A and B are shown apart, each in its own frame.
Chain A
Amino acid sequence: MTASVPTPATVPAQAHATAALSLGDDALVLSHRLGEWAGHAPVLEEEVALANIALDLLGQARVLLSLVGDEDELAYLREERAFRNVQLVEQPNGDFAHTIARQLYFSVYQQLLYEQLAADAGSPFAPIAAKAVKEVAYHRDHAEHWTLRLGDGTPESHSRMQRALDALWRFTGELFEPVEGLSVDRDALRDGWLTTVTDAIRRATLTLPDGPQIGAWTAGAGRQGIHTEPFGRMLAEMQHLHRSHPGATW
């Protein structure tokens, strides 16, 4: 099925805002999680790489949130229920394998999504997606290479990587739920994602998880503002200083 592609003029502003918030929050939240690695990475090169990815995502988030309103008000003054990111990106870092599994699942999705948006001249997100997709291609490359090294490295890294892929699998179905204001071919997105992820996992001598991709009541829940418990704590840390000084500029 190919979703109909409305021209910007026919998309209500509110729907655009929801789409921008969804994409912006994905980038903002994942950037924050990656930022938590600073000073804790397994090797110095990864301090540089993870920070680089976090910075790219933060840049994307700032552009997307600014389409909707003031970036800082949106990042620091919304309550948990108003965030529209998928639950995948808010999952805690876990060990390095969990971080890489999260990166693999998300960066493949983001690359395919942004490729579609960039190719759609009618999409208000085309220019942003065209720029971001170049960054995201690197993120995906980074995630795939680490999936290979960990999957096909030592018995320990193999089992850690498999556990991580399995643990995060149930958060991947949400990536393909409809997003208001975002016109994409979701079937192509899902098929492309599954093909790419399956290929990376197979080359890494790992097994594609066989559990459900969505928990019973959480289908698309992040996009509707329903998050997981660790997200509240993440926001409490992220927002506390800004909220402690109402009206201050930094």
Chain B
Amino acid sequence: MTTTAPETGALEAVFEAAVAADERIEPRDWMPDAYRATLVRQIAQHAHSEIIGMQPEANWITRAPSLRRKAILMAKVQDEAGHGLYLYSAAETLGTGRDELLDKLHAGRQRYSSIFNYPTLTWADVGAIGWLVDGAAITNQVPLCRCSYGPYARAMVRICKEESFHQRQGYELLLALSRGTEAQHAMAQDAVNRWWWPSLMMFGPPDDESAHSSQSMAWKIKRHSNDELRQRFVDICVPQAESLGLTLPDPDLRWNEERGHHDFGAIDWDEFHEVLRGNGPCNEQRITQRRRAHEEGAWVREAAAAYATKHAAEHGEATA
């Protein structure tokens, strides 16, 4: 159905009023094409991050040093697959299916969070990912529970609950290492040293360089700026690092009484852009594994589809 210009104007007014009144936009509601496109891009990137994000942690499932830790880690990686499922479903409500989004991921036309292009080199990295990476993700994602698009906001409520558990398990894992043997403590500190700066980069470029921010803020897809969220995260982490008995690798990190926040050192945005461009330590490895799993699984998906078709036909004949 095509709409004429005056009709579109009226629909747009209804949409704008709903957003202004903090009402939820639902899949059957009219929405501007650009709003839909922005949401698909953001939800897809989030879904892709969940499934690519399984890789660095799954890297340690087979080496987890106790059965309790192994169970926790397997459950966590499973949760991420589940988050991927909710998010691909949320994108589907906007008219874009999972297959299409996966094809775009595999073709390099859609992104996932750059943080997963860093390697997990020791067991402590599992803790650092939980504490810092999931911690940063929660800081980013809690405001999304109030996002103007209903299905995304509702998926985020559930995801944030689970992410909060992940963050706590990471903290608890690091605490055990920090209070453990000298070698375990050193392992924890080394992991925090490597993951701290990439975690700060997870909030995206500074506000004055962020390409998508202002329109997303106006549409209430996004509620806070990148720099606001980054500051909030730093302020949360500093006392937690102290409780852990670990240090954060930033000589410029100090409390600023006047601002009521922690000042912190300059982020290496060249590194951020390099990793984004594909030159991170694991970009190639991550996407290659994802593509391989997809390609090697093609015959399984085809078999399931063929079986379903055959048996749907039988059922149809039986009831005809």
Using a CB–CB distance below 8 Å, which chain A residues touch chain B? Answer: 28, 32, 35-36, 38-48, 51-52, 54-55, 58-59, 61-62, 65, 71-72, 75-76, 95-96, 148-150, 152-154, 156-157, 160, 237-238, 240-242, 245, 247-250
Contacts and interface: CB of A to CB of B under 8 A. Distances in A.
Interface string B26-67: 000000000000000000000000010011001001111111
A154 B303 contact: yes
Interface residues of B, number: 51
B184 to A, nearest CB: 6
B300 A157 contact: yes
A55 B78 contact: yes
Interface in B168-184: 173, 176-177, 180-181, 183-184
B78 A249 contact: no
Given A61-B67, A150-B300, A154-B303, A248 B184 contact: yes
A55 B299 contact: no
Instruction: Tell which of B71, B292, B294 has the most Cβ of chain A within 10 Å.
Output: B71
Given A47-B78, A241-B63, A242-B66, A39 B289 contact: yes
Contacts of A157: 299-300, 302-303, 306
B84 interface: yes
B238 interface: no
Contact of A43 (B82, B184, B301): B301
B304 A149 contact: yes
A245 B173 CA distance: 16
Nearest to B102: A44
B185 to A, nearest CB: 11
A40 B299 CA distance: 14
B66 A45 contact: no
A153 B81 contact: no
Interface of B: 51, 54-55, 58, 61-71, 74-75, 77-78, 81-82, 84-85, 88, 98, 123, 173, 176-177, 180-181, 183-184, 289, 292-294, 296-308, 310
Contacts of B303: 149-150, 153-154, 156-157
Contacts of B61: 35-36, 38
Contacts, number: 143
B131 to A, nearest CB: 16
A144 to B, nearest CB: 13
Contact of B293 (A42, A59, A75, A241): A42
A42 B297 contact: yes
A249 B71 contact: no
B70 A242 contact: no
A237 B66 CA distance: 13
Given A38-B58, A41-B293, A152-B307, 13 more contacts: A35-B62, A35-B74, A45-B85, A47-B51, A51-B74, A51-B77, A55-B75, A149-B303, A157-B299, A241-B123, A242-B66, A248-B65, A250-B173
Contacts of B66: 72, 76, 242, 250
A142 B296 CA distance: 20
A48 B310 contact: no
Contact of A59 (B71, B294, B297, B304): B71
A41 B297 CA distance: 7
B296 to A, nearest CB: 7
B248 to A, nearest CB: 23
Nearest to B56: A39
A61 B296 CA distance: 31
B58 A71 contact: no
A110 B65 CA distance: 27
A149 B307 CA distance: 5
12 contacts: A40-B293, A44-B84, A47-B84, A149-B303, A152-B307, A153-B306, A154-B299, A154-B302, A238-B63, A240-B63, A250-B68, A250-B180
Contacts of A152: 307, 310
A38 B74 contact: yes
A39 B305 CA distance: 22
Contact of A40 (B67, B183, B289): B289
A237 B176 contact: no
A156 B58 CA distance: 29
B176 A249 contact: yes
B85 A44 contact: yes
Contacts of A40: 289, 292-293, 296
A250 B299 contact: no
B65 A242 contact: yes
A160 B293 CA distance: 17
B249 to A, nearest CB: 24
B299 A43 contact: no
Given A152-B310, A157-B299, A240-B63, A47 B54 contact: yes
Contact of A250 (B69, B78, B294): B69
Given A38-B77, A245-B181, A58 B300 contact: no
B165 to A, nearest CB: 15
A119 B63 CA distance: 37
A55 B310 CA distance: 33
B55 A42 contact: no
B65 A76 contact: yes
A182 B158 CA distance: 44
Contacts of A249: 176, 180
Contacts of B85: 44-45, 48
